[in-house]
Amino acid sequence: MSQSAQAAQPDPAPGEQRRTQMRRVVLSGLLGSTIEYYDFMLYGTVASLVFDKLFFTGLSPLAGTIAAFGTFAVGYLARPLGGALFGHFGDRLGRKTMLVLSMAMMGVASTLIGLLPTHDQVGNLAPTLLVVLRLVQGVAVGGEWGGAALLTAEHAARRRRGLLTSYVQMGGPAGTVLSTLVLTLFATLPDDQFLSWGWRVPFLLSAALLAMGLFVRLKVTESPLFAEVQQSNAVVRRPVMEILRRPKPLLLACFVVFGATVSQALTGVFAISFATGVGYERTDILVGQLLNGITAAAAMPLSAALSDRVGRRPVLLGAALALAAVAFPVFLMVGTGSVPLMMLALGLLAPLPMGALLGPVPALFSEMFGTSTRYTGVSMGYQLAAVLGGGLAPLAATTLLSASGGHSPTLVALYMFLACLVSATAIRLTSETHGHDLDHTTTSEPERPLAGHL
């Protein structure tokens, strides 16, 4: 085609450009959160299977497991720091730059974990380096989720905000599925090979995932709402202080998702250690985790799309109560030693309501905070729940199981049940945000409904 003919070609229509950009934003959010959670949850699974043997040698099996889960918790403790740090700069400098940085930090840290020497090789330096890299992982994932969720929300049309932002949330179980699938392939190796090098390969693959994710993310445009904030000189100097001045939305956001984060950690991390003690084969447990992620991922867009029609609160409340109802059956079924019952419990009964509870959360959180403080508010709310819920849950559950003699999971199930009731209470106290438009106000309260805004 000649240059004159090319010049005569019309530019894409504005509507087509918006749709193309929306697809890029959704794909970027899904890929970014998948990569982040692949790395983050891979650590949790390997901690359950390997780290007590390689990095915490010389301890009893129980003490080694607690030490391994302790390093897992360190990553969760760093997540609010990442949320506050990335939120601060994301609300001041822009969403895209922070999301590129968070992805790069996670990919580099995970690759380095795959290269770490063991305790037998360098002594106490090995667990020290492991903790440092876990901290970097926690900071990175603390900045990723909130930024990806709100960037999608700020590009999305109001009527589809729940559905489109749920793809970011799907990155959690998708990353878990991917990490479990890759790890399952290497878990079939003989024990000596798996412990010497097999567990390292999934971490080293993070480098390839990082390159793919950055390629997509660099093509995404900045949030149009944040651009309005910059143009109107409405950037907030200290977004964290703005959020803390009126902390009600932050606290409600934290406890809305609290039950889901507890359940996610108990059925996705602690359950591996518990099931190993019951006597299940390693590959059977990993297949159960694979089904867990697939079911949760499938439930998320369905519940989010429903919340676009009937509202966020009724969907979230129903999911929280359903998740509470299955807490005792799930752990009793895993404790039977029956592989089909374990698969049913971890692969369907727990992740279905858990995914339904998590699906509408990105839209709800984005609607609870103004644009000038949204990155900070969304990130800190979710990451505080991650610490109080997911980060401490495996440690707490291991302690509760030990207190019951190491066999009865009743106290663990009670823990999950009560956490879900906390979420149900917070949902009842949260205002309905469905139908609210996102504008560039600085308020930390849910924004008022406006007509005609995308």
The reported pLDDT for the residue numbered 105 is 93
Residues 188-195, mean pLDDT to the nearest whole number: 87
- What six digits make up the tokens of 419? 């956490």
Contact 286, 428 (CB under 8 A): no
Would you call 341 helix, strand, or coil by DSSP?
A: helix
CA 444 to chain centre: 23
The reported pLDDT for the residue numbered 272 is 81
How far apart CA 375 and CA 84 sit, in angstroms, is 9
- CA end-to-end distance (rounded Å), the chain: 37
pTM above the 0.85 mark? no
The reported pLDDT for the residue numbered 353 is 97
- What six digits make up the tokens of 373? 């403080």
Element (H, E) at 16: helix 14-46
| pLDDT of residue 16 exceeding 90 | no
The reported pLDDT for the residue numbered 13 is 52
CA-nearest of 289, 439, 278, 273 to 367 is: 439
How far apart CA 55 and CA 38 sit, in angstroms, is 21
Of 74 and 30, the structure prediction assigns the larger pLDDT to: 30
The torsion of the CA quartet 454, 382, 297, 210, rounded to 10 degrees, works out to 90
How far apart CA 415 and CA 397 sit, in angstroms, is 8
Which residue has 């100097």 as its token pair?
237
How far apart CA 54 and CA 196 sit, in angstroms, is 9
What region, left, alpha or beta, does residue 337 occupy, with left being phi > 0 and alpha being psi -120 to 50 degrees? left
How far apart CA 49 and CA 3 sit, in angstroms, is 61
DSSP character at residue 338: -
Contact 136, 109 (CB under 8 A): yes
CA 137 to chain centre: 12
The reported pLDDT for the residue numbered 14 is 59
Of 12 and 358, the structure prediction assigns the larger pLDDT to: 358
Residues 73-97, mean pLDDT to the nearest whole number: 88
- What is the number of other CB atoms lying within 10 angstroms of the CB of residue 208? 11
Contact 124, 268 (CB under 8 A): no
Binned at pLDDT 50, 70 and 90, residue 98 comes out as very high
The reported pLDDT for the residue numbered 302 is 97
Element (H, E) at 414: helix 410-429
Q: Give tens-digit pLDDT for 132-157.
A: 998 898 899 888 888 999 899 998 88
| pLDDT of residue 440 exceeding 50 | no
| pLDDT of residue 10 exceeding 50 | no
The reported pLDDT for the residue numbered 374 is 92
How far apart CA 270 and CA 45 sit, in angstroms, is 9
| Lowest-confidence pick of 68-72, 234-238, 372-376 | 68-72
Please state the length of the chain.
Answer: 454
Binned at pLDDT 50, 70 and 90, residue 41 comes out as confident
CA-nearest of 60, 45, 51 to 119 is: 51
Which residues, other chains included, contact 199 with Cβ-Cβ below 8 Å and sequence gap of 6+? 46, 49, 50, 183, 186
Q: Which sign, positive or negative, has the C-alpha torsion 209, 139, 255, 444? A: negative
The reported pLDDT for the residue numbered 452 is 33
Q: Give tens-digit pLDDT for 200-214.
A: 999 999 899 889 889
Residues 338-362, mean pLDDT to the nearest whole number: 95
The reported pLDDT for the residue numbered 443 is 42
The whole-chain average pLDDT of the chain stands at 86
Which residue has 């984060």 as its token pair?
261
The reported pLDDT for the residue numbered 418 is 97
CA-nearest of 386, 378, 346 to 73 is: 386
Contact 73, 396 (CB under 8 A): no
DSSP character at residue 452: S
| pLDDT of residue 453 exceeding 70 | no
Angle made by CA atoms 101, 215, 74, in degrees to the nearest 5: 35
Would you call 219 helix, strand, or coil by DSSP?
A: coil
Q: Give tens-digit pLDDT for 351-399.
A: 999 999 999 999 999 999 988 899 999 999 999 998 888 878 888 898 8
Which residue has 């129903």 as its token pair?
318
The reported pLDDT for the residue numbered 127 is 85
The reported pLDDT for the residue numbered 417 is 97
Contact 266, 397 (CB under 8 A): yes
In the chain, count H helices and then E strands: 25, 0
Contact 72, 134 (CB under 8 A): yes
Angle made by CA atoms 74, 410, 392, in degrees to the nearest 5: 10
